[in-house]
Structure 1
Amino acid sequence: MWREVARFEAQLQQREFLTWVYLAVFFLLTFGYTSSGAVELVTGRGTLPKNAPWALAQAMAGVTAFGQVITTMITATAVMRDVATRQQELLFTTRLTRRDYLLGRWAGALAAMFVVYAAIPVGLVAGTLMPWVDLAVLHPFALSSYLRPLLMLVLPNVLLVSACFFAAGAMRRSFMAILLLGVGLVALWSTGISLVRDGAPWGALVDPFGNAALEAVTSGWGDAERAGRAMPLGGWLLANRALWLAVGAGALAWLARGFRFEVTASTAPRAADASARASVAPAAVLTRPARHATRWRILRCEAGWTLRWTLRERGFRTLAALGALNALANAWRAGGAHPDAGMILAAVQEHSRPFLILVATIYAGELVWRERDVRADAMRDVVPAGTGALVAGKIWGILAAQAVLVAPLLLVALLVGVVRDAQGMSLALALAWIGGLVYPFLAQLTLLSLLVHAVVQHKVAGHVLLIIGWVVAVAMERTLALPALARFASLPPYTWTAGRGFGGAAGTMAWIVVYWSAVAAACALLASVWWVRGVEGRPRDRATGALRQLHSASGWLLVASVALAAIAGAAAGSR
């Protein structure tokens, strides 16, 4: 029976448009890497051929680590489909066994992932065959250079990560559980690489994706070895693979033993009803005084509710804690024996950045989808309040919650700076840093993410587009020297020293922050006019409605935001 379930799941995954988007992303990334200079996937490659054994292993390892986002989405789709469509109750009444259900779902999703990840070596090979590629700068083709990383890095990662995600999602029956586990794996990956680079080879065992282990077994190689020596199959790399495959097997064993083939408390109707009642609590407050209420009171009510819900949400608190702990671990080693404040602040900012991106992406989506997930959107849509006020309240609430989120980063910077006696560290500097650089970055990403979710109107597609966009932007940034005004929410390279501060760059940085904040405000206004209330119409009807709303105050605010961005951009460019 499990084979029929697996076949059915594989067919469903095949029909998903996003499955082919994932495949195309992998193919285009790897194809662009070997066929042109526009995409760089290997840091520190130098003049080494892109298809040298070491470079191919590093490229496949890096793309696979990024690909855990795609593994997350495919696995979550398989494990949460029956919960989302309210069909699990029907399945639990059939003769389908727990073993057949779990094994079939996982095997079907695994088959889809194998097809998607096969695009990585195919893209690498196809790029080298293009007629415009200079064969003189390529390494001679060697099949083992592609097979070794595929068998030691790519396929084991697909197996172990999908097993862990599937077990977490099935046991908790929650998409957020899968996301939080993914964040935890990313934190282990970052920690493992940092340990190996700091001279602790046992850090190779910490990284679940094998990148740190690969770095540990190739750390002493020169250019000649990197160009001609095959990727080792033993040592720390083999130990890492054995350990984490055992973890994946343990996750599946835990699932097989603990999964209950019945509706659990987390998905029972009474829990869903309670969530729905909690989610629509502001609606009752809004409808009662609607005739006399002002827009300001509506906005405050929605903002207060959004703030309370976000701060109480377990995933938000977990991401905040993981981001702060990761920043603490890396800031503690930054700057050597005598760091200054700039080194500490830069380390905290750099190592909290992935978590801030995840928070912006996930919780901007929650603003759009929270009521729909608990089937309370229809009740909210009939509230006699303007869409602009409701959306503004949501934005105000989430930005207030994010101000709370960055507070631990401020404490981490001050704690490390004081304990390590960092030169120049002060409360005023830390406050200026958190309020002028870190928080604006998070707010700007959130407003852009909100616009994407409002326009796309597909939760998973919105998340995938945003995360892929961030990763592609990082890959392109390595090869394209784009100015800060052309890279969303970015600043020009800067260094803070105790003697010179920002070295005269503070004014330029301030104008660029204003520029991107104005662009983000324009994104928020566009998200408001694209916001769906009631039944979603055709794209043409939605576009017509959005244009119609721009003839009101929203249009004037949009013009003001664009004008401010133009002024700030001109001021930054003239300095």
Structure 2
Amino acid sequence: MFGKIAGFELRYQLKSPVFWVVAVVFFLLTFGAATIDQISIGGGGSIHRNAPFAIAQTHLILSIFYMFVTTAFVANVVVRDDETGFGPILRSTRIRKFDYLYGRFVGAFLAASISFLVVPLAIFIGSYMPWLDPERLGPNILQAYLFSYFALALPAIFLTSAIFFALATVTRSMMWTYVGVIAFLVIWIISRIALDRPEFATATALWDPLGQSAYRLITKYWTASERNALTPPLAGVLLFNRIFCLALAALFLAAAYWLFERQSAELAGNKKAKALKGSAAESDPPPVLTGPLPVPRYDGQAAWAQLVARTRLDMGQVFKSPAYFVLLALGLFNAGGALWFATEAGGYGGVIYPVTRVLLMPLMGSFGLIPMIIAIYYSGELV
């Protein structure tokens, strides 16, 4: 049954428009970075566009942005059945919770992994484009592609999938799951800024769940020729970091198994209470309306009243939403962290004055993304 559920979920995700839209977007983004000078993700300078270092950097950076994609895949498998009302029917069958929960997760995770394959594919295809300067290219090394995908990107995708799968199991809400994605990203960025010091380099490399610090520590003193030709061995700090990443993902998956049963029981109790309350309310006789019905108006005054009422309703749905204040709090938290470390000169103990030109750019970079996220999310909810 586990294999059938996983296979069904994989086929469902592969037929979803989200899968193909994400694949096209990430392919074009990676292809542009590999073939256009104005777009840069990994490498740069005297590093070849298809160098092992550039391939690894591209996989590490895009796996961070891919958190929003993995959430769309893995969180949807929990929320979908409850939103359609099919969840209680499935839970009343003889399907085991292990098969149902982890079968759905495995199918969604495989779909996300397959979709991310467009990243190495775009780099490989882009390296053969005729308009590229041959001096900016090196040989395509298969080991570099395999290492970047399986050792760097795939564990990070697996970890973020497990985290937000567990969060969706608790909240049963896509909105709160995406808020969790933003919170995770903000905390990760602030921790990297706070720990960006020489004395914390090894500790950060060991415990950074996304693996960027470990790879940066290993390749920190590599020359351009080494970055163009070498792939670091999966040993030492990097091996420990990848094992820690997988162990952390397993912990979140185990938590999702326990939280799923508890949350399902709470949802069943809440629905039962609402049903009893509704039946009690239906027993009361409805009020009897007397008098003539109001005559509808279609003039400008009525249109203005409708506009005001509709605007007040939609503004209330935004400003009374807990997610709105959570996003603002995350933005303020992120901005506070950026401003706190803005006066440090390179992280080596130097301090500069907090003048406007020093504080303006960190403030714009840390808080400027939050209003865009709010606008994009709530405009989509409105439509």
Q: Assess same fold via TM > 0.5.
A: yes
Following TM superposition, by how much is the alpha carbon of 1:304 offset from its aligned partner in structure 2, in angstroms? Answer: 3.2
CA distance, structure 1, for counterparts of residue 157 and residue 275 of structure 2: 33
SS of equivalent residue, structure 2 residue 368: helix
| Alignment partners' CA distance in 1, 2:15 and 2:275 | 29
CA RMSD of aligned residues (A): 2.9
Q: Does 1:126 align with 2:129?
A: no
Q: Match of 1:208? A: 209
Offset of residue 102 of structure 1 = 0.2
> CA contact under 8 A between 1:193 and 1:204: conserved in structure 2?
no
Partner of 1:158: 157
1:299 pairs, out of 299, 307, 319, with 307
1:46/1:270 Cα in 2 relative to 1: closer, same or farther (>3 Å)? farther
Q: How many residues align?
A: 355
Residue segments in structure 2 that go unaligned for 5+ positions in a row: 278-292, 345-350
Tell me: CA distance 1:126–1:10, structure 2 relative to 1, closer, same or farther (3 Å): same
Deviation at 1:158, TM superposition (A): 1.7
Between 1:29-38 and 1:50-59, the stretch displaced more is: 29-38
1:345 to 343, 360, 364: 360
User: What is the SS of the residue equivalent to 2:248?
Assistant: helix
Q: Which residue in the other structure is 1:63 paired with?
A: 62
1:372-415 Cα shifts (integer Å, max 9, x gaps) = xxxxxxxxxxxxxxxxxxxxxxxxxxxxxxxxxxxxxxxxxxxx
1:359-383 deviation line (CA, Å, top 9, x unaligned): 1211112222xxxxxxxxxxxxxxx
State the distance in 1 between where 2:151 and 2:120 align.
13
Q: Distance in 1 between matches of 2:158 and 2:106?
A: 10
State the match for 2:327 in structure 1. 319
Corresponding letter in the other structure for 1:323: G
Q: Tell me the residue number matched to 2:289.
A: none
Identity %: 31
- The alignment partner of 1:260 has SS state of helix
Q: 1:30 to 1:345 in 2, by over 3 A?
A: closer
Look up the match of 1:355: 370
In structure 2, the CA distance between the partners of 1:228 and 1:353, relative to structure 1 (3 Å rule), is same
How is 1:1-40 mapped onto 2 (pairs within 5 angstroms)? Answer: 1-40=1-40
Output the CA distance in 1 between the equivalents of 2:274 and 2:38: 50
Task: Note the C-alpha offset of 1:30.
Answer: 2.2
**Alpha-carbon distance between aligned partners in 1 of 2:294 and 2:58, rounded to the nearest angstrom:** 59
Q: Does 1:241 pair with 2:239? A: no
Deviations 1:124-151 (A, max 9, x none): 1121123443433212222222122212
Per-residue CA distance 1:191-232 (angstroms, 9 max, x = gap): 244245444323445643222332233333332332233235
- Cα distance in 2 between the residues matched to 1:240 and 1:366: 38
CA contact (8 A) 1:53 1:145 kept: yes
Q: CA deviation at 1:253?
A: 0.7
Provide the residue aligned with 2:134 in structure 1.
135
Q: Which residue of 2 aligns with 1:109?
A: 108
Query: What is the deviation of 1:351?
Result: 1.0
**CA distance in structure 1 between the partners assigned to 2:140 and 2:258 by the alignment:** 47
1:41 corresponding residue in structure 2 = 41
Distance change in 2, residues 1:270/1:299 (3 Å): farther
* Separation in 2, partners of 1:273, 1:55: 61
What corresponds to 2:317 in structure 1?
Answer: 309
Structure 2 Cα separation of the partners of residues 175 and 273 of structure 1: 28
| Structure 1 residues without counterparts, runs of 5 or longer | 275-286, 369-575
Q: Distance in 2 between matches of 1:237 and 1:289?
A: 74
Distance 1:303 1:134, change over 3 A: same
Q: Which amino acid aligns with 1:316?
A: Y
| Structure 1 position 328 matched with structure 2 position 353 | no
Change (3 A) 1:270 1:300: farther
For residues 373 and 272 of structure 2, what CA distance do their matches in structure 1 show?
30
Shift of 1:315: 1.6
TM-score, normalising length: structure 2: 0.83
**Partner SS, residue 267 of structure 2:** coil
1:340 deviates by 0.4
- The answer to which of 61-70 and 351-360 deviates more is 351-360
* Closer, same or farther: CA 36–177 of 1 in aligned 2, 3 Å: same
